[in-house]
Structures are given as structure tokens and as C-alpha cells.
Amino acid sequence: MKLSAYRIATNTLRTTRILSVKTESPTVRTFTFKDRQCANAKPGQFLMLWIPGVDEIPLSILDAKENGIISVAIKKVGEATQALHNKKVGEIIGIRGPFGNSFTLKEGRILMVSGGTGTAPMLFLSKKLASRVTRLISVIGAKTRDELLFMNGMKKTVDKEKTQIIATTEDGSYGIKGLATTPVERLLEKEKFDMIYTCGPEQMMRKVFDLAEKYGVALEASLERLMRCAVGLCGSCVIGGYCVCKEGPVFTAEQLREVKNEFGVSKRDFDGRKIPLE
């Protein structure tokens, strides 16, 4: 199965105003705005957000409502994300997108493993999966308790009886002490899953991928690479022969096998050189 599709690249920048800002954790804020073109965005897709005079950055779509209300969760890590965190309701931002492919909507027994803002597309995905799943286990990892994201949102999307949320923190301040991958092997030993979805730090996803391979479970992972054009022209975002902006960001285990020597290992820097993932 190949998730690639060549979409028409007529996706011009439009400006819109920030409708709301919500603090989710000490480093993460959720922004909403109106954008008709993103109204039908699917879980896994991303948009390019222009911060006028500063930068344009790729962000996963956290939610897209039919009325065009879109949300994104932004972690403060550098100049652009800091500038966004300083923005207030009513200020202007620019949007291009939605770009890329999306997670396939599976039925049955689902395992989600996410870390950091990687939980954003997982929450969106769980909403779309709600009517299809018979069981959903969501492992959410963070460094500390106050950085755990969307725990409540995730609890509410799928039937209570079917859902189990497992939190992990590196400092042990909440849930299981360790990384998001810590409980995964035990889960795979115990239960059968029809699909694993994962999004978060790439080393984490690589570990989940290796476990999925070991236990023979299907997997889809959402990758991040440097984005410039987002339409498959500039080549900044390549992993193996794939453009993450166009043939990704969601990759199947089959595709990840082809790029095993890069996945979780290296990425391309701004000058196109391969550098180790930090």
C-alpha cells in the first residue's frame, strides 16, 4: 500500500486572524483560526503557518471543523514558535495547506503511541476513529506531568469502556516512569492490535516501529523533516526517495523498511547535508 498522491498545487497563502489561544502546558499553546480550505483536512495532514516578518513553519492539524475552525498545538522551541506564542487573539497569520497524506482509518483494535506535540494528530485521529474502534489504547509520553498533552481530550473522544490511556513521564511524576515506548512491548506481548499509529520524537517512533516489526503488527508513523515549499519541489524534506511533504508525512511500515538507514537515524539540515538526529 502506498499513501502517496499528487495533489494539485494551487494552494495560495491566505491570511486570517487568531480566534483563540489556550495554554495547554508550560511550553505548548493551542491556537484556533478560521480557514475554509482546511475545513476538510484529515488527521496527519499539516499546514504551513506564516508568522509575518518572522518565518513560515509546518504544523500538524489538531482539529478541523466543518465550519472551517482549525486548531494547531504549538510547542515553543525557537524563534518562530516563540513569536507565535507571543501572538494574541485578533493578530494576523498566514496559512497554506492542508498538505500531505493522512492516516488510514482502521477498524478494530488500535494502539496509539505519541510524545510531545505528536499527540495533536493522534487526538484528531481518535475523533475520526471513534465509531470504528473496538478498543483504543493510547500511550502518551512527556518529560514531566505538566507536559502531558490532551489526556482529557483523548479520554473523551472514544467510548469509555473501549478506551485506555497510559501516561508515561521521564521523571516519574505521573503514570509510568520512563519513555512512551516503555509500556509498548508489554502491550504487544499481551494483546493483538490491528494497527499502531505513532507520532512524536523520531527515535521514539523508530523504537515503536522496531517493536511493531518484531510482533508483526501494521504501523503508520508521521514524520517530520525540514519543510520549505511543502509541495514536493524543493527537496528539503526528503527521506530516501520520498518527499515527506507530499508522499508523507504519514508512512507505512512497508515504506519505513525502505528508509531504515535514515528513519530514527539521520535527517537533512538546511544545507541539504545528512546529519544525525539529535
Residues in touch with other proteins (CB under 8 A): 6, 8-13, 15, 48, 50, 52-53, 55-57, 92, 94, 96, 227-236, 238, 240-241, 243, 268-273
Choose between 77 and 233: whose C-beta lies nearer to ligand FMN: 233
Q: 125-129: long-range contacts (C-beta < 8 A, 24 or more apart)? A: 125/43, 125/44, 125/197, 126/154, 126/157, 126/158, 127/43, 127/63, 127/157, 128/42, 128/43, 129/105, 129/158
Choose between 183 and 264: whose C-beta lies nearer to ligand FAD: 264
Outline where DSSP puts E strands in 170-234.
Answer: 176-177, 195-199, 219-222
- Interface contacts to ligand FES, rule CB under 6 A: 227-230, 232-237, 243, 245
The CB-of-228 to ligand FMN minimum distance in angstroms stands at: 8
Per-residue contact flags (x/-) with ligand FAD for residues 105 to 124, judged by CB under 6 A? ------------x--x----
Whether 72 contacts 120, CB under 8 Å: yes
For 173, which DSSP code? S
Per-residue contact flags (x/-) with ligand FMN for residues 233 to 262, judged by CB under 6 A? xx----------------------------
Which listed range, 30-38, 50-58, 170-178, 181-189, lies at the site for ligand FAD (CB under 6 A)? 50-58
> b vs e for 196-211, b when ≥16 Cβ sit within 10 Å of the residue's Cβ?
bbbbbbbbbbbbbbeb
For residue 85, is it left (φ>0), alpha (ψ between -120 and 50) or beta? alpha
Whether 119 contacts 154, CB under 8 Å: yes
Residue 236 CA neighbour count, 13 Å, CB half: 14
CA distance 113 to 240: 24
DSSP H or E run through 84? helix 79-85
Cβ neighbours for 265, distance < 8 A, ≥ 6 positions apart:
206, 276, 277
Q: Which does 46 bind (CB under 5 to 8 A by kind): ligand FAD, other proteins, ligand FES, none?
A: ligand FAD
The CB-of-167 to other proteins minimum distance in angstroms stands at: 34
Choose between 57 and 195: whose C-beta lies nearer to ligand FES: 57
The CB-of-79 to ligand FES minimum distance in angstroms stands at: 19
Alpha-carbon 17 to chain mean position: 23
Choose between 116 and 175: whose C-beta lies nearer to ligand FAD: 116
Choose between 91 and 194: whose C-beta lies nearer to other proteins: 91
Which listed range, 79-87, 136-144, 228-236, 263-271, lies at the site for ligand FMN (CB under 6 A)? 228-236
- Contacts with ligand FAD by CB under 6 A lie at 46, 55, 57-60, 72-75, 77-81, 117, 120, 224-227, 249
Which residues are near ligand FMN by CB under 6 A?
Answer: 229, 233-234
